[in-house]
């Protein structure tokens, strides 16, 4: 099958490829064996603790954290389908998206959900290309009022665009979809089921990489997306504390957003306005307000991943800046807002902080002392093997070996966190380029938000924005 055919097939179905019972059983057994090996590895380090204390501590923390993800994820259950059908507002912020925003609009209008209960609001955040024309042209295909277009007039940033959409809707559930993402027809109907539980404030769906088979880099990212959602977010969901409801495709209870909207929209950190990590920040505030945040593995959307290493590294730097800001803020309140998630989040934070230090330390000792961190490499190999087998269990699309390559790649770039933390006050995104036909695919973010540019301009609210409908201004 051609690459184009594979990409088309990936979008055409949300179901995992079928695999033989023997292969699936073998993969399950393999994951169990690797998890036992990781547990043994932890026990050895705890029992003997010989040699380098820092390296041993890091090995134990990471191994325990990863093992706990598998254990918790095993208890994950999909939200029960209760036929719950609240009113839904789909909000799509767009900046220099070009023709891509049309695809998103058409996919949202093809959803299998009662039309009278859906509002679709697309917000043009001062694009300097033909995004607004594509928005109004796509909206003109539908009955008057079914697709509402808002033009902010000048670039205000993604938070202002999202806030404008929120203020121009009245639905009970707010669904945010990136302008380069497309939901499956049944995605909204599935995603809202979790809100039948009154204390759930936000739910993240799962996002797959649309251009997964473009090259080696996109293959590694495609596998990483699946692991990030179907392992890490499953585990977090069991604790009721998904730390980032992905900007690609996530839903919020209106009541949970309204009470934090003003503070989130005008968030400042170290004296500067926050211009990245919008969705991680919003999820953080929803958690702090006492709501649960969940994950629904059956609510599917697709997005684009960076196809060049330059774009990928810029994307990762932005995500790391977001994590460096929101991670400490999360720890400051999670002990009271979601107490049972504290050990998990504390281990995650400690592992994330130590990772770049350990990688640099390992490289330095290898060069200066000629020592190879055998235990560290064994631990990395075990974890990467578990990821490979997990992916093979979940999806039979021949991408599972890239879990190993991806694990190495993400470890090698972990020192980027240090540089990102040093530049945390820099609000630039560095990933968008204006081009005909769509946005830079590096915009997709499973753990954060869609791109924007710095917004030194004064904000304008949704009430001040220009309403555009049916392809013409009103």
pLDDT per residue, tens digit, the chain (474 aa), is 333 433 434 443 334 444 456 665 666 677 777 777 777 766 776 666 666 666 777 777 787 888 889 889 989 999 999 999 999 999 999 998 888 899 999 999 999 999 999 999 999 998 898 999 999 999 999 887 789 999 998 888 888 999 999 999 999 999 999 988 999 999 999 999 999 999 999 999 999 999 999 999 999 999 999 999 999 999 999 999 999 999 899 999 999 999 999 999 999 888 888 888 899 999 999 999 999 999 999 999 999 999 999 999 999 998 999 999 999 999 999 999 999 999 999 999 988 898 898 888 888 888 887 777 777 787 788 888 889 888 988 887 889 999 999 999 999 999 999 998 898 887 665 544 444 334 444 444 454 433 332 333 333 333 345 666 543 333
> How far are the Cα atoms of 13, 349, 358, 364, 377 from residue 55, in angstroms, in the given order?
44, 17, 7, 13, 11
> How far are the Cα atoms of 150, 157, 203, 284 from residue 328, in angstroms, in the given order?
35, 24, 22, 11
At the second CATH level, the architecture of 1-474 is Alpha-Beta Complex (3.90)
Q: What are phi and psi of 72, to 5 degrees?
A: -65, -40
Give the SS3 label for residue 303. strand
Model pTM score: 0.84
- Read out DSSP for 314-346? HHHHHHHHHHHHHHHHHHHHHHHHSGGGHHHHH
Half-sphere exposure (CA, 13 Å, Cβ side) for 326?
28
* Alpha-helix runs per DSSP H in 74-157: 100-109, 131-139
Structure tokens at 191: 């995603």
Task: Measure the CA–CA gap between 276 and 278, rounded to whole angstroms.
Answer: 5
Which residue in this structure is represented by tokens 């009103």?
A: 474
Angle at CA 435, nearest 5°, toward 431 and 440?
35
Cα 474 from chain centroid (whole Å): 35
Q: Tell me, what's the pLDDT at 5?
A: 39
Q: Tell me, what's the pLDDT at 467?
A: 61
Strand 466-469 with 292-303, pairing: unpaired
Q: Tell me, what's the pLDDT at 46?
A: 66
Q: Tell me, what's the pLDDT at 443?
A: 43
Domain boundaries, the chain: 1-474
Which residue in this structure is represented by tokens 């330059």?
A: 310
Question: Residue 350's CB: how many other CB atoms inside 10 A?
Answer: 16
Cα 79 from chain centroid (whole Å): 20
Task: Measure the CA–CA gap between 180 and 92, rounded to whole angstroms.
Answer: 9
């Amino acid at each position: 099958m051609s690459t184009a055919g594979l990409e088309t097939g990936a979008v055409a179905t949300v179901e995992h490829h079928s695999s033989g019972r023997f292969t699936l059983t073998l993969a399950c057994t393999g994951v169990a064996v690797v998890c036992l090996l990781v547990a043994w590895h932890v026990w050895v380090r705890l029992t003997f603790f010989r040699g380098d204390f820092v390296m041993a501590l890091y090995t134990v923390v990471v191994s325990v954290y990863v093992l706990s993800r598998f254990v918790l994820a095993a208890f994950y259950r999909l939200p029960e389908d209760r036929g719950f059908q609240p009113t839904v507002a789909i909000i799509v912020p767009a900046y220099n998206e070009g023709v891509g925003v049309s695809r998103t609009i058409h996919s949202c209008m093809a959803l299998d959900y009662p039309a009278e209960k859906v509002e679709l609001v697309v917000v043009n955040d001062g694009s300097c290309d033909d995004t607004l024309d594509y928005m109004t042209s796509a909206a003109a295909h539908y009955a008057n009022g079914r697709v509402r277009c808002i033009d902010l007039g000048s670039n205000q940033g993604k938070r202002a665009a999202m806030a404008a959409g929120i203020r121009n809707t009245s639905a009970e559930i707010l669904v945010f979809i990136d302008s380069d993402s497309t939901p499956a027809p049944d995605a909204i109907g599935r995603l809202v089921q979790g809100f039948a539980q009154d204390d759930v404030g936000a739910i993240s769906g799962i996002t797959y990489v649309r251009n997964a088979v473009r090259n080696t880099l996109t293959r590694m990212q495609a596998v990483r997306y699946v692991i990030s959602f179907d392992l890490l977010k499953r585990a977090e969901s069991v604790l009721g504390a998904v730390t980032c409801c992905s900007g690609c495709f996530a839903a919020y209870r209106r009541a949970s957003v309204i009470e934090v909207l003003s503070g989130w929209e005008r968030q400042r950190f170290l004296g500067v306005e926050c211009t990245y990590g919008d969705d991680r920040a919003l999820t953080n505030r929803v958690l702090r307000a006492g709501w649960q945040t969940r994950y629904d593995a059956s609510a599917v959307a697709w997005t684009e991943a960076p196809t060049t290493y330059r774009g990928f590294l810029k994307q990762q730097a932005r995500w790391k800046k977001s994590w460096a800001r929101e991670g400490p803020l999360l720890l400051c309140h999670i002990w009271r807002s979601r107490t049972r998630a504290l050990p998990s989040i504390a281990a995650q934070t400690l592992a994330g902080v130590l990772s770049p230090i350990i990688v640099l330390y390992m490289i330095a000792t290898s060069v200066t002392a000629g020592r190879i961190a055998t235990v560290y490499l064994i631990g990395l190999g075990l974890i990467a093997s578990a990821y490979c087998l997990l992916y093979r269990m979940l999806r039979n699309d021949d991408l599972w070996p890239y879990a190993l390559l991806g694990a190495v790649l993400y470890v090698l770039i972990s020192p980027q966190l240090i540089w990102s933390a040093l530049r945390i006050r820099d609000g630039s995104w560095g990933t968008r380029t204006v081009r005909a036909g769509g946005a830079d695919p590096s915009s997709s973010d499973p753990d954060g938000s869609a791109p924007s540019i710095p917004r030194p301009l004064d904000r304008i609210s949704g009430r001040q924005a220009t309403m555009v409908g049916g392809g013409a201004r009103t």
